[in-house]
Structure 1
Amino acid sequence: MYGWIWRHLPGPAAAKLAQAVVLVAAVVALLLFVIFPWIEPMLPLNDVTTT
């Protein structure tokens, strides 16, 4: 998968590296600011039981 992404990014190696870093940052930001807050109420993190 990473090879496919690398082959399809335009430009020389330095430009591909910069684009890959931007893509990773965009995915991380999407996960942190959109996906995780949306799914957090559905997770059973606060359902703690002790016996």
Structure 2
Amino acid sequence: MVRGVALTPWCDGRDGMYGFIWRHLPGSAWVKALISLVLVLVVVYVLFQYVFPWAEPLLPFNDVTVNNQ
């Protein structure tokens, strides 16, 4: 460190949200990786099943103008 500033941004003790999640998952690295994969799949499932269908009528994708008509 130089005057309290780390030379690399990941060595200053702040590893962000993903580091926080990784540290708090139980098990070895392989178990953590498997749990992380399951969490990602659950998030994708919830997005496709609930969030995107709810938001779709609110988005202007069907408001198409052709030749100013």
Structure 2 unaligned blocks of 5 or more:
1-16
TM-score by length of 2: 0.70
Partner Cα separation in structure 2 for residue 39 and residue 49 of structure 1: 21
Q: Unpaired segments of 5 or more residues in structure 1?
A: none
Aligned to 2:50: 34
User: Does residue 40 of structure 2 align to residue 24 of structure 1?
Assistant: yes
The structure number with the bigger radius of gyration is: 2
Aligned length, in residue pairs: 51
Structure with more contact order per residue of length (Cα contacts < 8 Å, sep ≥ 6):
1
Give the structure 2 partner of residue 9 of structure 1.
25
User: What is the aligned-residue RMSD (CA, Å)?
Assistant: 0.7
Offset, 1:49 = 1.3
TM-score of the aligned structures, taking structure 1 as reference length = 0.93
Greater helix share, 1 or 2?
1
List, as ranges, runs of 4+ consecutive aligned residues in structure 1 with deviation greater than 4 Å.
none
